[in-house]
Structure 1
Amino acid sequence: MNKPNPILAPTSHTRATLLPLLFAATLAGCVGAASPAPTPPTLAPQEAFFEALASHCGKAYEGAMVSDQAADADMRGRPMVMHVRECSDTRIAVPFHVGNADGSWDRSRTWLVTRTDTGLRLKHDHRHEDGTADAVTFYGGDTAAPGTAQAQEFPVDGESIAMFRANDLTASVTNVWRVEVDPAGTADGRYAYQLQREGRLFRVEFDLTRPVPAPPAPWGHE
């Protein structure tokens, strides 16, 4: 009859040592098998875009026109400032200030980005220096596609088309506006506003990495 190998056969001392180790290994395995923490849901592109714009609330940035069409020659080289001035859960107001050759400023324009039931809306609030509304104001459009977290496009809406036609601005009835924005803190962050239609391109860009002092209120919003 074979005798147990004294090297392989567990002794009472060995069993006493192994049991706590086996328990610890089993416990570690249970802990390692635990379900990972749930991943936060990813925002829809339009929601992420709205939050990216809102992350700049209260800040102003310098920019410049980067398109080069002859129709905008009078704006070439002029100083420009955009200011994310008003923010709520449903609307963000962004005044667009353009410097004049005499050192004064044109503060007539404000971009309005609003949440709707189906997406986002861009409107242009145009005022005269006395605060009264321009004859052509609150034109724009709604998003027709999800876009991305950094860029949204706004094809002209029916209300705006009617306004353009009533004011002999028929070239504008195919306008598509585009707004691009990076969240605050993005390296090389940029904000861009663009108007495009066949044969027409206007685009301005702003450096989001270097805030500047906030400008005065736009006309009509003092």
Structure 2
Amino acid sequence: MPALPRLLALLLPALALAGCATPPPGAALPQEAFWQALTSHCGQSYTGALASNQAADADMAGQPMVMHVRSCNAARIEVPFHVRQADGTWDRSRTWVFTRTADGLRLKHDHRHADGSADVLTMYGGDTAAPGTGLAQDFPVDAESVALFLREDRAVSVTNVWRVEVDPAGTPGARFAYQLSRPSPDNRLFRVEFDATRPIDPPPAPWGW
């Protein structure tokens, strides 16, 4: 077979496969699909629980938890995370803040005290480093957060990766999951999961909001 026809014979199957793999016009990119999935829960609250089992989180084991997709717009989504304490009171100090960036998505952690003042460790987080999927996004720690952790003697946290998973509202068995992990030698894993099929009444506003 002449060289050119033989080359075309080799290339055509690969080109055909590439064409099949191309997303159809109008298909949402993974991060846009993820944003839409999270937005589909706007205004809803769900109950959850600790899904990991490390000793560092023993005080949360078995404690009721609530997440609330409290505020949504085209550029920002706020999700307070409430945890009941052993004494029956609720810790309302945490809010997960999702925003869009020029290159992807950002997750920050707004931590407040009961009087509304900011915790010394607040607004840390990271930006997506890869497209992820429409159901899950990873947020490796950013430089600003690394500097904060080092300044506050939290060097153990400079390799943090946060992961958020969400099914669109109405999906059978839908859930929302938040996870913090760190690689060896710490091997840190903190994960909470929420049943996103059964909305509950919204909790009070998080502290300071």
Q: Same fold (TM over 0.5)?
A: yes
What does residue 192 of structure 1 align with?
Answer: 177
Q: Distance in 2 between matches of 1:154 and 1:122?
A: 7
> Partner amino acid for 1:101?
A
Q: Distance in 2 between matches of 1:76 and 1:51?
A: 31
TM-score with structure 2 length normalisation? 0.87
Structure 2, gaps ≥5 residues long: 1-23
> Partner amino acid for 2:160?
N
Report SS of the residue matched to 1:52.
Answer: helix
Matches within 5 A, 1:61-100: 61-100=46-85
Matches within 5 A, 1:51-200: 51-198=36-183, 199-200=187-188
Q: State the shift of 1:128 in Å.
A: 0.2
What does residue 211 of structure 1 align with?
Answer: 199
Q: Distance in 2 between matches of 1:186 and 1:96?
A: 22
Report SS of the residue matched to 1:153.
Answer: strand
Q: State the shift of 1:101 in Å.
A: 1.3
Structure 1 residues 95-153: Cα deviation after superposition (integer angstroms, max 9, x where no partner): 00000112110000000010111000000000000000000000000000000000000
TM-score with structure 1 length normalisation? 0.81
What stretches of structure 1 move > 4 A for 4+ residues in a row?
none
Report SS of the residue matched to 1:211.
Answer: coil
RMSD: 0.7
Q: State the shift of 1:177 in Å.
A: 0.2
Structure 1 residues 149-174: Cα deviation after superposition (integer angstroms, max 9, x where no partner): 00000000000000000111000000
Q: Distance in 2 between matches of 1:214 and 1:135?
A: 28
Report SS of the residue matched to 1:144.
Answer: coil
What does residue 5 of structure 1 align with?
Answer: none
> Partner amino acid for 2:127?
D
Q: State the shift of 1:66 in Å.
A: 0.5
Structure 1 residues 7-64: Cα deviation after superposition (integer angstroms, max 9, x where no partner): xxxxxxxxxxxxxxxxxxxxxxxxxxxxxxxx65100000000010000000000000
Structure 1, gaps ≥5 residues long: 1-38
> Partner amino acid for 2:159?
T
Q: Distance in 2 between matches of 1:103 and 1:202?
A: 22
